[in-house]
C-alpha cells in the first residue's frame, strides 16, 4: 500500500511516499527557515504563501524522483492540525484536490502524534515496529507532550506544557545568546564547549507528582542573568557557552525526570520519541541512558526529528491498520488522533 503524505503545518512544506507503513520510497522537505529567519520567527502569512508556491513543484519533483505515477497511490494523508491555520489550509486544499481529481481516499492526521510514529519507518519492516502499549514523548517547537497509546491507538495525554514548549524555550534563550531563529540547534552546538555546572538555573515547582512542564520561568531567569552578565562586563564567549550548557542541562533533566515518572506509572512495552528537540544530543543520550535497560527505546534519525511528511504517512498507515474513523476537519489546536 502506497501513501502519499502532505505536511504544511508550520514552516516546512514536505511530501513523502511511504510503502506498507515502513518503506520510504521518496521524501522531500522544502524548509522556509531562511525566509523566516530575517523576521526573527515564523510569519504565518509568509508561511502560507510559501507553501502555496512550493507544494505543486514539490509533488512533480517527488513523482519524477521515485518514478511513481499518481494512479499508483492508494491513500493520501495530510496534517489536519495542530499548526498555523493558513498553512494547514494550503496543505489540506492541495490534498483534497488531488483526492477528488484522482479518486484517492484522504486521511487527516495529527501532527504531534505523527512525530513519534516516525519510528515505524524502518527498512527491517513490521517485525521491528514498536510494540503497544507505547509511551510517546514529543519535544518540539510548539509541544512537550507525553502520551500513553494503547493497542487500539487510543491515546491519553499524560503531560504537556503549561506555557512555553521546550523548543520555544530553546529558541528564545538562543536569541538572548545572540542566535537567529530557530536557534535551538545552534545553542546546543556551543553548549558542548560550556560547563553546565556554572549557572544554577531554577526548575518550575509544579509538584513532584505532576507531569506538566513549564519553561517560561526558566526563560525569564536566563534573561535576568544575561542582563547581569552584560552589566557587569562578564558577557563573553565563555559565559555564553556556560550559560548554553547550564540551560540545556536544566531542560533535559526536567524532561527526562518527568518522562521517568510517566514510565513508572504506565510500564509500557516500548518508548517512542520524536520532535525537533529530539535532535538534541544531550537529550538523546540521557533518554537512552535512563531507559534502554528497561524498555525498547525508539529514537528517530536526526533528519526525521524536525517537521516532515514521512511521519504523517507513518501515522496514517497505523490509523488505516487500526481502522480509526477518518476525520478531515482542519483544527489548529487539534488534540485527538
Using CB under 6 A, list all residues that contact ligand KG4: 10, 140-142, 167, 170-171, 182, 184-185, 188, 275-277, 279-280, 306-307
Give CA–CA dist 317/46, Å, rounded.
31
Give CA–CA dist 158/163, Å, rounded.
16
Stretch that binds Zn ion, among 60-68, 206-214, 224-232, 303-311 (CB under 5 A): 303-311
Q: How far is the CB of 307 from Zn ion (least distance, A)?
A: 4
Cβ nearer to Zn ion, comparing 48 with 196 = 48
Q: How many residues bind Zn ion (CB under 5 A)?
A: 2
Buried b vs exposed e over 106-121: b needs ≥16 C-beta within 10 Å?
Answer: bbbbbbbbbbbbbbbb
Residue 246 binds to Zn ion (criterion: CB under 5 A): no
Interacting residue with Zn ion among 120, 191, 307, 315 (CB under 5 A):
307
Stretch that binds Zn ion, among 144-152, 155-163, 294-302, 305-313 (CB under 5 A): 305-313
Can you state the angle between helices 237-266 and 166-177, rounded to 10 degrees?
170
The secondary structure of 33-83 as a DSSP string is HHHHHTTTS--HHHHHHHHHHHHHHHHHHHHHHHT--GGG--EEEEEEESS
Q: How far is the CB of 32 from ligand KG4 (least distance, A)?
A: 12
CA distances (Å), origin 189, targets 4, 53, 101? 35, 33, 46
Cβ nearer to ligand KG4, comparing 73 with 121 = 121
Contacts 24+ apart (CB under 8 A), 203-209: 203/250, 203/253, 203/254, 204/254, 206/162, 209/261
Q: How far is the CB of 337 from ligand KG4 (least distance, A)?
A: 17
Cβ nearer to Zn ion, comparing 116 with 140 = 140
Q: How far is the CB of 80 from ligand KG4 (least distance, A)?
A: 14
Q: Are 259 and 287 in contact (CB under 8 A)?
A: yes
Q: How far is the CB of 274 from ligand KG4 (least distance, A)?
A: 8
- Report the partner that residue 286 touches, choosing among Zn ion, ligand KG4, none (CB closer than 5 to 8 A by kind): none
- Report the partner that residue 279 touches, choosing among Zn ion, ligand KG4, none (CB closer than 5 to 8 A by kind): ligand KG4
The sign of the dihedral angle between the CA atoms of 297, 15, 66, 17 is positive
Cβ nearer to ligand KG4, comparing 8 with 140 = 140
Give CA–CA dist 319/322, Å, rounded.
5
Q: How far is the CB of 223 from ligand KG4 (least distance, A)?
A: 18
Q: How far is the CB of 229 from Zn ion (least distance, A)?
A: 33
Binding mask 127-146 for Zn ion (x = CB under 5 A): -------------x------
Q: Give the three cell numbers for residue 18.
A: 511511504
Q: Are 183 and 248 in contact (CB under 8 A)?
A: no
Kind and range of the H or E element at 151? none
- Report the partner that residue 167 touches, choosing among Zn ion, ligand KG4, none (CB closer than 5 to 8 A by kind): ligand KG4
Cβ nearer to ligand KG4, comparing 99 with 246 = 246
Residues that bind Zn ion (CB under 5 A): 140, 307
Amino acid at each position: 500500500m502506497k501513501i502519499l503524505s502532505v505536511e504544511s503545518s508550520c514552516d516546512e512544506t514536505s511530501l513523502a511516499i511511504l510503502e506498507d507503513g515502513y518503506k520510504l520510497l521518496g521524501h522531500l522537505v522544502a524548509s522556509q527557515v531562511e525566509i523566516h529567519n530575517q523576521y526573527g520567527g515564523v510569519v504565518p502569512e509568509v508561511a502560507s504563501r510559501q507553501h502555496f508556491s512550493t507544494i505543486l513543484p514539490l509533488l512533480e519533483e517527488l513523482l519524477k524522483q521515485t518514478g511513481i505515477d499518481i494512479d499508483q497511490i492508494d491513500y493520501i494523508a495530510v496534517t489536519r492540525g495542530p499548526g498555523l491555520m493558513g498553512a494547514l489550509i494550503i496543505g489540506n486544499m492541495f490534498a483534497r484536490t488531488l483526492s477528488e481529481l484522482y479518486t484517492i481516499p484522504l486521511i487527516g492526521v495529527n501532527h504531534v502524534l505523527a512525530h513519534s510514529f516516525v519510528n515505524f519507518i524502518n527498512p527491517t519492516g513490521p517485525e521491528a515496529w514498536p510494540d503497544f502499549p507505547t509511551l510517546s514523548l514529543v519535544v518540539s517547537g510548539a509541544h512537550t507532550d507525553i502520551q500513553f497509546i494503547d493497542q487500539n491507538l487510543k491515546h491519553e495525554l499524560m503531560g504537556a506544557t503549561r506555557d512555553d514548549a521546550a523548543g520555544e524555550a530553546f529558541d528564545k534563550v538562543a536569541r538572548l545568546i545572540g542566535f537567529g531563529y530557530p536557534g535551538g540547534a545552534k545553542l546546543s552546538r556551543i553548549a558542548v564547549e560550556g560547563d553546565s555546572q556554572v549557572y544554577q538555573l531554577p526548575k518550575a515547582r509544579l509538584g513532584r507528582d505532576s507531569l506538566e512542564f513549564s519553561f517560561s520561568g526558566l526563560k525569564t531567569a536566563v534573561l535576568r542573568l544575561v542582563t547581569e552578565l552584560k552589566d557587569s562586563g562578564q558577557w563573553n564567549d565563555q559565559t555564553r557557552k556556560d550559560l548554553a550548557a547550564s540551560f540545556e542541562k536544566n531542560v533535559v533533566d526536567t524532561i527526562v525526570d518527568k518522562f521517568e515518572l510517566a514510565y513508572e506509572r504506565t510500564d509500557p512495552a516500548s518508548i517512542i520519541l520524536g520532535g525537533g528537540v529530539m535532535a538534541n544530543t544531550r537529550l538523546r543520550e540521557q533518554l537512552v541512558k535512563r531507559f534502554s535497560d528497561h524498555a525498547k527505546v525508539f529514537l528517530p534519525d536526526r533528519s526525521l526529528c524536525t517537521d516532515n511528511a514521512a511521519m504523517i504517512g507513518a501515522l496514517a498507515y497505523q490509523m488505516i491498520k487500526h481502522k480509526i474513523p477518518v476525520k478531515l476537519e482542519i483544527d489548529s489546536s487539534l488534540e485527538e488522533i
